[in-house]
Copies of this chain bind each other. A is one copy, B any other.
Amino acid sequence: MTGTVVPDRRGRRRQETIEQVLAVAVEVMTEQGAAGLTLGEVARRMGIRPPSLYGYFDGKHALYDALFERGWRALQGVLEQAGAIADGADPLTAWRGGTTALVRWAVEHPAHSALMFWRPVPGFTPSPEAYAPAVALDAESRALLVRLRDAGHLAADVDLDRAYRAWTALVGGVISQQLSNAPGEPFETGAFTTVLPDVMDMWLDHHRANPSAR
């Protein structure tokens, strides 16, 4: 529920502190890895003592939880902005743009991505509330594939569930390889992000209509 409170005068400063805690946590996770987050380090960088953090979060897991949820919400926003969620736009453009924007966001937010796509933190399981936006995005992504098929870009008899699983594997693979093997590289020149167009073509060709032309 973080971030949903009314920003009255009282709560504004509190909200700013919460944002700062999360920002510093991301900083630490980016440097040390997602599992390398410690409340002591966050407090140190903020110039406060570890116990003070408990006024804003119920311990370290609550921090992970907030970042997990915000990450998926951010991805939703990214896909929406790419027109992948709105019904109006051309599905193929939306799919290409959305996939590209998603991968870009992921490699530019490695701390969030590790938390969202892997399970790097022993003992941490996202709460149902934090998981909800991930489920929503899943549904929206599947809906996009339906639109893609209905617009004639995929074969009419395509197995959409199977195609969706393959798509997540492809996208997740590019992200995973880029973050694990060449973490610092920017999206534009990354060893793996640069093959994303190829990968999208592979998926599209494989599921495209008129297979006789293959």
Binding site for B on A (CB under 8 A): 32-33, 35-36, 114, 117-123, 162, 165-166, 168-174, 176-177, 180, 183, 191-192, 194-195, 198-199, 201-203, 205-206, 213-214
Contacts and interface: CB of A to CB of B under 8 A. Distances in A.
Given A118-B120, A172-B177, A174-B169, A195 B35 contact: no
Contacts of A122: 32-33, 35-36
Contact of A172 (B162, B176, B198, B205): B176
A166 B198 CA distance: 8
Q: How many copies does the complex hold?
A: 2
Contacts of A32: 122-123
Please report whether the interface of chain A is mostly helix, strand, loop or mixed according to DSSP. Answer: helix
Closest 7 CB pairs of A and B: A173-B173, A36-B122, A202-B202, A169-B173, A33-B122, A35-B35, A202-B206
Nearest to A35: B35
